[in-house]
Amino acid sequence: MESALLYLNEDTLKFAGFEKKESKYAIVGAPLDVTSSYRPGTRFAPSSIRQAAQYIEFYSLRQGIDIGDIGFRDFGDIILHPSNIQESLKRIRNVIGYILSLGKFPITIGGEHTITQGIIDAFEQETCVVSFDAHLDLREDYLGDPFDHASVMRRISEKGVKIMEIGTRAVTREEVQYARNNGIDFVTSYEIRRLGIRDVAKRVREFENTCKNIYVSFDIDVLDPAYAPGAQTPEPDGLSTPELLDILQYIITEKVIGMDIVEISPIVDTSNITSILGSKIIMEAVAAIESSVRVSQNKIVK
């Protein structure tokens, strides 16, 4: 616990202006930006998303939930090693473990997608991963490095974690083969448009029904660059913002125990659009979780 606090750098800029210490939702930044393979700058995303969140309305029309009543506890940013990925992943694991020990729900703002490996390592209970991503991230390594944002889901899978990926459209043949050999289901962006939101959501919920707990990872490049111009590795033929939020609305349940949003690069972001979108995704995900919890509680009461 003590070492985890040593790795935290509290920020005076709080997510959406909140510093609600009793809130179960804990914001923490993980500004890792070492293995970015195309457009660097994800280290600036935690601050940019915090700033953008100041101007997002708190009431969710989708869920009928006012985030202003719930709030967030912002722990600041994790101090990461400038070049040693494994050391940075260890620090992320320690800090997330500390946040979990407080009974909080960790919401981690990256940083590159590699951070998800360190986060998942902190969960002691059985946890499945639902990853929104244009890429499968199942490479054995990228340019010889096994700890890379292109390999993060491969490393997580090797630990025996069940994974489902949504919005896939940029893959290698080897990744597809690995997914098939290891039971990793993925839904492509064109399948989402062909099948429709409800059918895709049903498929994801069937996966979630096999899991005790769910962790959700949002790589912003799941969205088409028209909606997320600040993606670190943009890929055409992606989801629209309404498609993403609609799927999220259907698949988020009380089983979700943590989430992250990664791969936003503010230095290439047109008019801060992608950071604003990142803050909106966090707000709507929390609203969906709260709505699911309340529905579940009402069933128990009845």
The conformational region for residue 79 under phi > 0 = left, psi -120 to 50 = alpha, else beta, is beta
Does the reported pTM lie above 0.75?
yes
| Each residue's pLDDT tens digit, 226-248 | 999 999 999 999 999 999 999 99
| pLDDT value of position 302 | 45
In angstroms, rounded to a whole number, what is the distance separating the alpha carbons of residues 58 and 231? 24
| 174 three-state secondary structure | helix
Say whether pLDDT at 300 is over 70. Answer: no
Q: Indicate the range of 170-179, 261-270, 291-300 predicted with least confidence.
A: 291-300
| pLDDT value of position 2 | 53
- Partnered with residue 217 across adjacent β-strands are 131, 260
Task: DSSP for 182-233, please give it.
Answer: TT-EEEEHHHHHHH-HHHHHHHHHHHHTT-SSEEEEEEGGGB-TTT-TTBSS
Closest C-alpha to 161, from 125, 203, 199 = 125
| Each residue's pLDDT tens digit, 120-164 | 999 988 999 999 999 999 999 888 788 899 999 999 999 999 999
Question: Which ranges of the chain does DSSP label H, i.e. alpha helix?
Answer: 2-6, 45-53, 85-101, 115-122, 152-158, 173-181, 189-195, 197-208, 241-251, 273-301
Closest C-alpha to 71, from 127, 15, 153 = 15
Q: Domains, the chain, ranges and CATH?
A: 2-301 (3.40.800.10)
Average pLDDT, the chain: 94
Say whether pLDDT at 30 is over 90. Answer: yes
Q: What is the CB neighbour count within 10 angstroms for residue 166?
A: 27
Amino acid sitting at position 268: V
Q: What are phi and psi of 90, to 5 degrees?
A: -65, -40
